[in-house]
Amino acid sequence: MPLNLSKTVLECLKGRPEEKMTARQIAEWIMANHPEEAREKKQDSRVVNTDVELVQQWAAEISSQRPRLQKRHLAVKTTEGLPRKYYYSEKSDDDEVTVAEEMAAVTSGAEVNKAQPCEHDLYPLLSRYLRDEFGVYSKRIDEKHSSNKHGPKGNRWLYPDVVGMEDLGADWRQEVRDCAKQYSDKRTKLWSFEVKRLINRSNVRECYFQSLSNSSWANLGYLVTAEIEGQDTVKELRMLFAAHGIGLIRLNPDDPGESDVLIPAREKSAIDWNAANRLAAENSDFLGYLDLVKQFYQTGKVRESDWDAPKS
């Protein structure tokens, strides 16, 4: 009897709720759990002769049937970015955000699920990606190091999670660096990052406008996330980017080098020093970051030990 692929994919995902699997992993599961149907498909096909070819064929068919499968079964969800992952969850989008935020609040302890990194786990991974990919030196901004003189919510959406500095002359000859030190103010780009473990349709606008608020002072502002759920989520982010210019990075927790800039940020030519002054007045970490930028302008050199060490 021919395999009903849609039904079998649902069987696979429903049997392991919340587990995220690529189309290829689902195809491999089908191969292992439905050997008779696999044998029949190879016999009936003119182009599929080996198990490897059959897995590739099923993976392609799963991808092509995805929209129809999700329309028929609302609990079948996918992540965005490559590789796309499928999973079965009866949680609402709001519930998934709540779970992600609860994980973000957990920074240590034996109960942390290492398969699902919390937000704080992403900071050193982002630091590594920024250094390797862009040559950006980064610093964590801890909101706990802020004054609360404006009340509990007086500084809401004021601070980014991570800030960075890019040395535009890192590859210049020393003579050119010395000349630029004397005659140029444009030797750096200052970056700002708001980090979220999960973005979906429930929290996409809140996350974006939080990032916009936190990054208004910088040359480049980015929203960073380990996971994006739903194709419409990326569409919404692209629409918001067109209006406001905050970019999007999908951070790969398993291999930061495989992270993607899904939406490049729109660069602003000047720093908003009034906004930077507000952050520096309220948060000692941000004041320390600006002091490092000042030292760079004075010396023309970056001292590695002053910046967050990328996680290897």
Q: What is the pLDDT of residues 227-269, one digit of tens each?
A: 998 778 988 999 999 999 999 999 998 888 889 999 999 999 8
3 state DSSP class of 91: coil
Judgement on whether residues 161 and 54 belong to the same structural domain of the protein: no
| Inside any domain, residue 199 | yes
Judgement on whether residues 280 and 181 belong to the same structural domain of the protein: yes
3 state DSSP class of 228: strand
Domain count, the chain: 2
Judgement on whether residues 85 and 197 belong to the same structural domain of the protein: no
Judgement on whether residues 75 and 208 belong to the same structural domain of the protein: no
Judgement on whether residues 142 and 220 belong to the same structural domain of the protein: yes
Judgement on whether residues 289 and 155 belong to the same structural domain of the protein: yes
Judgement on whether residues 202 and 284 belong to the same structural domain of the protein: yes
Tell me, what's the pLDDT at 183? Answer: 58
Beta bridge pairs of residue 228: 199
Domain of 31 in residue numbering reads as: 5-90
Tell me, what's the pLDDT at 274? Answer: 86
* CB-CB contact of 104 with 39 (8 Å): no
Judgement on whether residues 58 and 132 belong to the same structural domain of the protein: no
Q: Find the CATH number of the domain harbouring 78.
A: 1.10.10.10
Judgement on whether residues 243 and 181 belong to the same structural domain of the protein: yes
Angstrom distances, CA of residue 241 to CA of 110, 117, 211, 222, 290: 39, 27, 11, 10, 27
Judgement on whether residues 26 and 129 belong to the same structural domain of the protein: no
Low-confidence ranges of the chain (pLDDT < 70): 1, 99-117, 147-157, 175, 179-185, 311-312
| Inside any domain, residue 75 | yes
Q: What is the pLDDT of residues 13-60, one digit of tens each?
A: 999 998 989 999 999 999 999 988 888 888 887 778 888 888 998 999
Tell me, what's the pLDDT at 155? Answer: 59
Judgement on whether residues 292 and 240 belong to the same structural domain of the protein: yes
Tell me, what's the pLDDT at 136? Answer: 95
